[in-house]
Amino acid sequence: MIRQRSISLRLTIWFSAVFFAGLALFGGVMWFTLENTLTNGRSRTLERRVERLGELLRDTRQYTPEERAAKFQAFADATGGGLIEVFRRNGARALPSPTSAAQAFPWPHVDSTDRSRFSEITYLGQPYRVLAQPFATGSEMLMLCVAAPLEGNRLVLRTFSAGLLWTVPVLLVLSALGGYILSRRALRPVDQITAATRLITLSNLSERLPVPETHDELQRLSETCNDMLARLDSAVNEIKRFTADASHEFRNPVSFMRTTAELALRNRQIDAESRRAFEDIVAECGKANRLLKDMLTLARADAGNSQLAFEPVDLAAVVRAVCQKARVVAGEHGHTLAFQVAEECEATVWGDYPSLHRLLWTLIDNAVKYTPAPGTIRVSVTAASGAVVLAVQDNGIGISGADMPHIFERFYRADPSRSQVEGSGLGLSIALWIANTHGASLSVQSQENAGTIFRVVFPPLPSERHRAEAFAAAG
């Protein structure tokens, strides 16, 4: 699952992780800055209040204690909450408490304090900021204490945190979605290149990948792949040309050797050993000739110049013609060959008669070769929903599951047959190519030691118009 993650998903995860870290850092810094600013604001208010209280104490130095207390009470009433006290060094109040709240408030111990000191105190579940500041008046040292609730600050911070908690996930989801959509869009050409590359095989090497006009790495990648395809195409074409030329050129010397050996065999005076040698040469030349013919057929097919002549062909006629010849060969191997063309079967297909002949011959020849005597080979032609089905069935050695995926590959021969039965491994490759050029499918069903059935399903005969178009396309 993890291995299949796309680049877009990885980019989105990275982008979201970095974005989240950035947001968390930003939120944290903002929270601490806000907290600091609010606390400092509260501290400055307390400092100003203490300063004004000091001025009041100085201004009322000459007043009677009652007058001074009244002034102090008025000052406390004017500074919200009235949380204010003036203590002596020994902790006793120098002025009466202005409010019951100030009297009950848990003021910090002030006896040893000789400099300003801020503290935070929780009273009745509420946090307070408290400033205690020494104040000299004549010979006496007083301690001025003021307090202010921090609940307002806490509320602001809580609102800010709640805002962060809502906005961060929403921003994160939006940015992840946006990032994913953008990266998918940016990488879409990669998917197109991948899909197009998957479709390129040896048979369509001349095709090229789409080149996105993005002037970036993707465009360079497509152009580089196309250059590579061009090089591969030309190399493969060279190999195909070489195979075709070599197969063609070899046929003359092989024919010459065969003819020479056959001429030598006509001489009755040659000894028995030389005769056997010449007979072997004739047989091997025959095999080599068949192999070269098959190679030339495939090389021409690869090069696209097979020169097939398509026309309406009665498949029943092909079956009769091939089976008549094949019956003799099957009989020589001790087999029975039966063929059946369904009555009322419209078996006309659009094809090349010699190729169809060859296709059927290959399938019957294999059935004969890979069936122990006495075997039964059945050839049939049926019509099903417009399509014509040609089937060749035997009760021979069958094909193993391991060999099945390879039997249509060039030069592939299943092991048990290789040593005993003559063949080159090109028959089914040619049969498949013939089926494909006819728009037909060639399939196989087999069970080891029970038998094999090959089916060729031809498409319905094309209309006159399609045939005319096909002729025109063939040039």
Question: Of 230 and 450, which has the nearer Cβ to ligand ADP?
Answer: 450
| SS3 state at 129 | strand
Question: Of 147 and 322, which has the nearer Cβ to ligand ADP?
Answer: 322
Question: Of 252 and 419, which has the nearer Cβ to ligand ADP?
Answer: 419
Q: How many residues does the chain have?
A: 475
The alpha carbon torsion through 165, 170, 172, 177 (nearest 10 deg) reads 170
State in angstroms the smallest separation of the CB of 413 from ligand ADP. 4
395 binds ligand ADP (CB under 6 A): no
DSSP track, 400-469: -TTTGGGTTSTT---HHHHHHS---S-HHHHHHHHHHHTT-EEEEEEETTTEEEEEEEEPPPPPHHHHHH
State in angstroms the smallest separation of the CB of 248 from ligand ADP. 21
State in angstroms the smallest separation of the CB of 224 from ligand ADP. 38
Question: Of 12 and 429, which has the nearer Cβ to ligand ADP?
Answer: 429
Name which of 88, 84, 90 is nearest 45 in CA terms.
Answer: 84
Stretch that binds ligand ADP, among 109-117, 124-132, 392-400, 455-463 (CB under 6 A): 392-400
318 binds ligand ADP (CB under 6 A): no
State in angstroms the smallest separation of the CB of 394 from ligand ADP. 5
Name which of 198, 255, 246 is nearest 225 in CA terms.
Answer: 198
Angle between helices 7-59 and 65-78 (to 10 degrees): 160
458 binds ligand ADP (CB under 6 A): no
State in angstroms the smallest separation of the CB of 459 from ligand ADP. 24
State in angstroms the smallest separation of the CB of 390 from ligand ADP. 14
Radius of gyration of the chain (CA): 50
Q: 81 Cβ partners below 8 Å, 6+ apart?
A: 99, 101, 147, 148, 149
Number of residues located near ligand ADP, criterion CB under 6 A: 21
423 binds ligand ADP (CB under 6 A): yes
State in angstroms the smallest separation of the CB of 417 from ligand ADP. 4
| SS3 state at 390 | strand
Q: Which residues, listed in sequence order, are joined to residue 349 by a DSSP beta bridge?
A: 313
Q: Which residue is nearest to ligand ADP (CB)?
A: 423
Q: Taking CB under 6 A as the rule, which mask of x and - marks residues 350-379 in contact with ligand ADP?
A: ----------------xx--x---------
Whole-number Å distance between alpha carbons of 305 and 10: 49
Using the rule CB under 6 A, which residue among 94, 381, 394, 458 binds ligand ADP? 394
417 binds ligand ADP (CB under 6 A): yes
82 binds ligand ADP (CB under 6 A): no
Question: Of 85 and 365, which has the nearer Cβ to ligand ADP?
Answer: 365
Whole-number Å distance between alpha carbons of 229 and 206: 8
- Locate tokens 């990266």: which residue? 183
Please say whether the beta carbons of 438 and 356 come within 8 A. yes
Neighbours of 165 (CB within 10 A): 10
Q: Which residues, listed in sequence order, are joined to residue 348 by a DSSP beta bridge?
A: 314
Residue 272 Rama label (left phi>0; alpha psi -120 to 50; beta): alpha
Using the rule CB under 6 A, which residue among 414, 442, 456, 461 binds ligand ADP? 414
Stretch that binds ligand ADP, among 59-67, 111-119, 310-318, 411-419 (CB under 6 A): 411-419
Question: Of 300 and 378, which has the nearer Cβ to ligand ADP?
Answer: 378
Q: Which token pair is 185? A: 């869009």
289 binds ligand ADP (CB under 6 A): no
Cis omega before residue 374 (within 30°)? yes
425 binds ligand ADP (CB under 6 A): yes
Using the rule CB under 6 A, which residue among 105, 330, 396, 455 binds ligand ADP? 396
- Locate tokens 């297909």: which residue? 349
452 binds ligand ADP (CB under 6 A): yes
Question: Of 135 and 412, which has the nearer Cβ to ligand ADP?
Answer: 412
Q: Which residues, listed in sequence order, are joined to residue 336 by a DSSP beta bridge?
A: 376
Stretch that binds ligand ADP, among 73-81, 188-196, 299-307, 390-398 (CB under 6 A): 390-398
| Site residues, ligand ADP (CB under 6 A) | 366-367, 370, 394, 396-399, 407, 412-414, 417, 423-429, 452
